[in-house]
Amino acid sequence: MEKTDIRVIYGDTDQMGVVYYANYLRYFESGRNEYLRARGALYRDLERELGIILPVVEAHVDYLQPARYDDLLVLETTLGKLGRASARFDYRLLRHATLIATGHTIHACLDRAGKIHRLPASLTIRLQPPGRGAG
Amino acid sequence: MEKTDIRVIYGDTDQMGVVYYANYLRYFESGRNEYLRARGALYRDLERELGIILPVVEAHVDYLQPARYDDLLVLETTLGKLGRASARFDYRLLRHATLIATGHTIHACLDRAGKIHRLPASLTIRLQPPGRGAG
Amino acid sequence: MEKTDIRVIYGDTDQMGVVYYANYLRYFESGRNEYLRARGALYRDLERELGIILPVVEAHVDYLQPARYDDLLVLETTLGKLGRASARFDYRLLRHATLIATGHTIHACLDRAGKIHRLPASLTIRLQPPGRGAG
Amino acid sequence: MEKTDIRVIYGDTDQMGVVYYANYLRYFESGRNEYLRARGALYRDLERELGIILPVVEAHVDYLQPARYDDLLVLETTLGKLGRASARFDYRLLRHATLIATGHTIHACLDRAGKIHRLPASLTIRLQPPGRGAG
């Protein structure tokens, strides 16, 4: 699990005085970037070095409590599942002990030509939490 | 069903050359705004006149094909379901005959104090497609 | 001059209940896209066919009156100046007769290698308003 | 002067592979938030406690070098000038020693009714760098 701090700026809020619902997906992106970075697998390098991309094929958010301007949120990102050619990330967004939102994204693994491609072993070995079998 | 034209601008794309995944939720918002407007129920008026808001409690997107800069997309918005104190909208985003994405949002009906509130009859009667029973 | 309609969505506003200041630059982008399109010069084609890009090197906005959710704004885009290797666009954003904001962007003309490149004559001849000399 | 770290996410970039020009204004907002916070003057409190808001009346950006995905940028925010009822912030955005962009924003001081209001002394005394006279 990876924790990412997120400070809500004005530009994230809407006129209801809460974070606009699309911006949670921006937060989720920060979370999985940091998840990858902490495991030595920069998303930037996946494209450059392994020749694969991981486009989002599904995104889901459950909005439980509003988040507000200047809140310091903590996003917990976990690897939900590694398939042969896909990966799922799960997200929990909190303000202290209050759960603000949960959600997930599912990513396909594609090569540069846009074809489905098996997740490289050099990647999965880094992402796999120790002691867990293949997803 | 309501159709909304969406022209993809540079600001909607990311460096993969496709529309950034969070921006689909912006498009969906345009779609349900136009859905309401076409039925004489401006979202703005819901807040001002009926004293209710319809915050998103769930959002979901399935990304099927990438959308690109300058694409002229058509978003089809339908009312998926009207509950006692909730509403669901369904979305289909197309580029000509190509289905780009599908998704839905679920909205709670709250009063100004943030309490769950029955959907006003003056609203549901406008949103209800003719010949359909209560959801 | 080119007129572009802009409908303000929730996602454009912030918690002050007005359009967030960065989003004016998104509107300006829509305006110059439509300016180019109306003259048969798609920005997309500049990159693909002429091998040039027109990145923004300067942007300026004067905010005169707030714009609000659901406002139907009209953006007037004009070509301010064509230099040898640069172009300036001027913008006026209105709600009916009320001037909401003015601004400009200045763009350099670069080739694919990122070097400054003379604006192609095939482009300037299209953009030049009739009866006006070279900028 | 206040330094703010900014990590560029995918959602900040456009299909040219660089940070979209409007997003620099989002970064600038983060910078002035942190400037105020470091001086014990939360922007949130200005509205709540002093009854004033500081809307942007002018924004300007000079784009010098592109910023890219995953760049770790440093934003330097300084108070450019304090007027009777206005404040100016200046920004310098860097990637290591490379200057990416400079810019400024000018803010009016308004009361809740939207009238111009003298900057409260309790605020200016905090913002004023030591040893500098009134702007």
- pLDDT given for residue A52 in this prediction: 94
Cα B124–Cα B129–Cα B130 angle in degrees, nearest 5 = 110
Q: What is the ipTM of this complex?
A: 0.93
Distance from CA of D69 to the nearest CA of B (A): 8
C133 pLDDT higher than 60: no
Closest residue in B to C33 (Cα–Cα): B9
Distance from CA of A104 to the nearest CA of B (A): 10
**Model confidence at C135, in pLDDT bands (50, 70, 90)?**
very low
B interface mutation test: which of A47, A61, A99 has the most B CBs within 10 A?
A61
Please write the tens of the pLDDT for every residue from D62-98: 999 999 999 999 999 999 999 999 999 999 999 999 9
* Lowest mean pLDDT segment, chosen from A41-50, B77-86, B125-134: B125-134
Contact at 8 Å (CB) between C8 and C68? yes
What is the C-alpha separation between B30 and B32, in angstroms, rounded?
6
What is the C-alpha separation between D12 and A82, in angstroms, rounded?
27
**What tokens appear for D83 in the block?**
């007027």
- pLDDT given for residue B134 in this prediction: 44
Please write the tens of the pLDDT for every residue from D25-61: 999 999 999 999 999 888 888 888 899 999 999 999 9
What is the C-alpha separation between B79 and B128, in angstroms, rounded?
8
What is this structure's pTM?
0.93
**Model confidence at B65, in pLDDT bands (50, 70, 90)?**
very high
- Of C99, C98, C20, C101, which Cα lies nearest the Cα of C60? C101
Contact at 8 Å (CB) between D92 and D85? no
A97 pLDDT higher than 50: yes
**Cα-based distances in Å from A120 to A78, A83, A84, A129:** 19, 11, 9, 16
- Of B4, B119, B97, which Cα lies nearest the Cα of B52? B119
What is the C-alpha separation between D86 and C35, in angstroms, rounded?
35
Q: Which chain C residues have any C-beta within 8 angstroms of a chain D C-beta? A: 16, 18, 21-23, 25-26, 29, 53, 55-63, 66, 105
Q: Do C22 and D16 touch (CB under 8 A)?
A: no
A105 pLDDT higher than 80: yes
What is the C-alpha separation between A103 and B60, in angstroms, rounded?
9
Please give the domain boundaries of chain B with CATH numbers for all domains.
2-127 (3.10.129.10)
**What tokens appear for A24 in the block?**
């949670």
D132 pLDDT higher than 60: no
What is the C-alpha separation between D59 and C101, in angstroms, rounded?
11
Compute the CA torsion angle A49, C52, D60, C61 (nearest 10 deg): -120
D2-7 vs B72-82, strand pairing mode? unpaired
Secondary structure of residue C89 in the 3-state scheme: strand
Please write the tens of the pLDDT for every residue from A33-91: 999 999 988 888 888 889 999 999 999 999 999 999 999 999 999 999 999 999 999 99
Mean pLDDT of chain B: 92
Closest residue in D to A24 (Cα–Cα): D11
**What tokens appear for C127 in the block?**
């953009």
